[in-house]
Amino acid sequence: MKLYLNFERQLSQTELDDFRELIRRRGQRQPLQHIVGSTSFCGLELMVDPHVLIPRPETELLAERGWSFLKSLNHQPSTALDLGTGSGCLAIALAVHCPEAQLVAIDISAEALELAKQNAARHNVLHRINFLQGDGFAAFGSPNSFDLIISNPPYIPTDEIAELQIEVRDHDPRQALDGGPDGLSFYRRIAAEGVVFLKPGAKIMLEFGDGQAAEIRKIFETQKWIVEAIVEDYTQRPRILIAHG
């Protein structure tokens, strides 16, 4: 945009070479967010790299639902758990919008957690987010309870990953995409294990993929959860499950 607005400016050879290299990388279908090193999420600039899933616009809806719920609680500070934090986008957005909230963010990837910590520090919320490495709820050494559990877990069926666009298939981390044979493995785990981590009156909010709403509702209702809502995304597709124990 700066080049466009200053079209009369002559570029140096170094600038031209750098720009051509960026064009070459994009021509190889590297995500633009990886090339520039960051993306915007809920108005927050977050660093991203091949160790983390690039946040999607629909996940902003999940974040908005999360912080709106935390703000509605009468007690302070509220507490939230972000499962599979990746870049830290959900935990950081909640922390920024809910200044009294205390958060725990879990990821199995040490590299993802390091980047998430840098993003949290960038937005001055690192002191309110406890980053833990581990496989889901197993990261806890002892029981914890939260007002909100929020997550955008892997939900692509294993056999469908090869069909994704190149920017996703070849550049997003596979472990952030692969949801098992039917894409629902993580939802079964969360439904089976998650209720003991909720305070009275707490909620769980989860993003899911196209065509998965009915089966995910069934998974949670079989585990005796009360499904409050299935929220649509910007394209009117069912995208977010909200439930309580």
Nearest alpha-carbon partner for 102 in 132, 126, 86 = 126
CA distances from 43 to 16, 57, 92 (A): 30, 11, 11
Please state the separation of Cα 136 from the chain's center in Å. 14
The ranges of the chain with pLDDT < 70 are: none
- 164-219 pLDDT per residue, tens: 888 888 888 999 999 999 999 999 999 999 999 999 999 999 999 999 999 999 99
- Structural domains for the chain: 50-244 (3.40.50.150)
Q: DSSP class of residue 244?
A: E
Overall size of the chain counted in residues: 245
What local confidence, expressed as pLDDT, does residue 34 receive?
Answer: 80
Q: How many CB atoms lie within 10 A of CB 49?
A: 16
Q: Tokens for 103, please give them.
A: 């958060």
Q: Where are the beta strands (DSSP E) in 62-160?
A: 79-83, 102-107, 129-133, 146-151
DSSP string, 165-208: -HHHHTTS-GGGTB--TTS-HHHHHHHHHGGGGEEEEEEEEEE-
Instruction: Give the dihedral of Cα atoms 195, 197, 200, 205; nearest 10 deg.
Output: -70
CA distances from 222 to 107, 191, 206, 219, 242 (A): 27, 9, 17, 5, 15
Is the bond leading into 57 cis (omega within 30 degrees of zero)? Answer: no
φ, ψ of residue 20 in degrees (nearest 5): -65, -35
For residues 100 and 91, what is the distance between their CA atoms, to the nearest angstrom?
13
What local confidence, expressed as pLDDT, does residue 6 receive?
Answer: 81
Asked if 41 contacts 59 with a C-beta cutoff of 8 angstroms, the reply is yes
What local confidence, expressed as pLDDT, does residue 25 receive?
Answer: 74
Q: DSSP class of residue 156?
A: B
What local confidence, expressed as pLDDT, does residue 11 receive?
Answer: 82
Nearest alpha-carbon partner for 160 in 147, 177, 140, 146 = 177
Asked if 148 contacts 82 with a C-beta cutoff of 8 angstroms, the reply is no
pTM of the model: 0.90
